[in-house]
Amino acid sequence: MSVTAAENQNLTSAHTNSREQLVSVKNVSRYYGKNKAVDNISFDVHRGEVLGLLGPNGAGKSSTMQMLTGNLAPSNGQIEINTFDILDEPKEAKLSLGYLPEQPPIYKDLTINEFLAYCAKINRIARSHHQSAIKLAKQRCGLDKMGHRIIGNLSKGYQQRLGIAQAIIHSPAVIVLDEPTVGLDPRQIKEIRALIRELGNDHSIILSTHILPEVTATCDRVLIINKGKIVITESINGLQQRIQSSSLLVAFNSPPQIKDLAAFEGTVSVEEIDSGRFRLHHDPTIDPSEKIVIRSVENKWGLTEITPEKLSLEEIFLDITCSENDGDIANVDTNINPVED
Partner 1 sequence: MILTLAHHELRNLFLSPLAWSILAIVQFIIAYLFLGQVDWYLQNQAQLKTMLNPPGLTELVVSPVFSNAAIILLLVIPLLTMRLIAEEKRNQTLALLLSAPVSMTEIVLGKYLGILGFVLINLFLITLMPFSLLTAGQLDIGMMSAGFIGLTLLLASFTATGVYMSTITTQPTIAAVSTFGLLLLLWVIDWAVNINTNKATEVTEYLSMLRHYQSLINGVFSSSDVIYYLIFISTFLVLSIRQLHADRLQH
Nearest to 165 by CA among 131, 193, 189, 142: 142
Minimal distance in Å, beta carbon 53 to partner 1?
A: 17
Q: Which residues contact 174 (CB under 8 A, 6 or more apart)?
A: 22, 23, 45, 81, 82, 96, 97, 98, 203, 204, 205, 206
Minimal distance in Å, beta carbon 45 to partner 1?
A: 16
Q: Which is nearer to partner 1, 122 or 294 (CB)?
A: 122
Window contacting partner 1 (CB under 8 A); options: 48-56, 67-75, 185-193, 300-308: 67-75
Minimal distance in Å, beta carbon 107 to partner 1?
A: 6
**By the rule CB under 8 A, 266 interacts with partner 1:** no
**By the rule CB under 8 A, 106 interacts with partner 1:** yes
| Separation of alpha carbons 138 and 148, rounded Å | 12
**By the rule CB under 8 A, 92 interacts with partner 1:** yes
In the list 9, 76, 107, 286, the residue contacting partner 1 (rule: CB under 8 A) is 107
Phi, psi of 45 (to 5 degrees): -130, 135
Minimal distance in Å, beta carbon 317 to partner 1?
A: 28
Number of residues that bind partner 1 (CB under 8 A): 31
**By the rule CB under 8 A, 146 interacts with partner 1:** no
**By the rule CB under 8 A, 103 interacts with partner 1:** yes
Neighbouring C-alpha atoms within 13 Å toward the C-beta of 235: 5
Window contacting partner 1 (CB under 8 A); options: 113-121, 210-218, 318-326, 333-341: 113-121
**Which amino acid, residue 261?**
L
Segment 163-222, which members bind partner 1 (CB under 8 A)?
166
**By the rule CB under 8 A, 32 interacts with partner 1:** yes
**By the rule CB under 8 A, 95 interacts with partner 1:** yes
**By the rule CB under 8 A, 69 interacts with partner 1:** yes
| Separation of alpha carbons 267 and 283, rounded Å | 6
Q: Cβ distance 201 to 12 under 8 Å?
A: no
| Separation of alpha carbons 319 and 336, rounded Å | 9
**By the rule CB under 8 A, 118 interacts with partner 1:** yes
**By the rule CB under 8 A, 105 interacts with partner 1:** yes
Strands 247-252 and 277-282: antiparallel
Minimal distance in Å, beta carbon 25 to partner 1?
A: 16
Minimal distance in Å, beta carbon 183 to partner 1?
A: 15
- DSSP string of 136-200, one letter each residue: HHHHHTT-GGGTTSBGGGS-HHHHHHHHHHHHHTT--SEEEEESTTTT--HHHHHHHHHHHHHHT
**What residues does 223 pair with on adjacent strands?**
53, 233
The dihedral through the CA atoms of 209, 23, 73, 95 has a sign that is negative
Site residues (CB under 8 A) for partner 1? Answer: 1, 32, 66, 69-73, 90-92, 94-95, 97-99, 101-103, 105-107, 109-110, 118-119, 121-124, 166
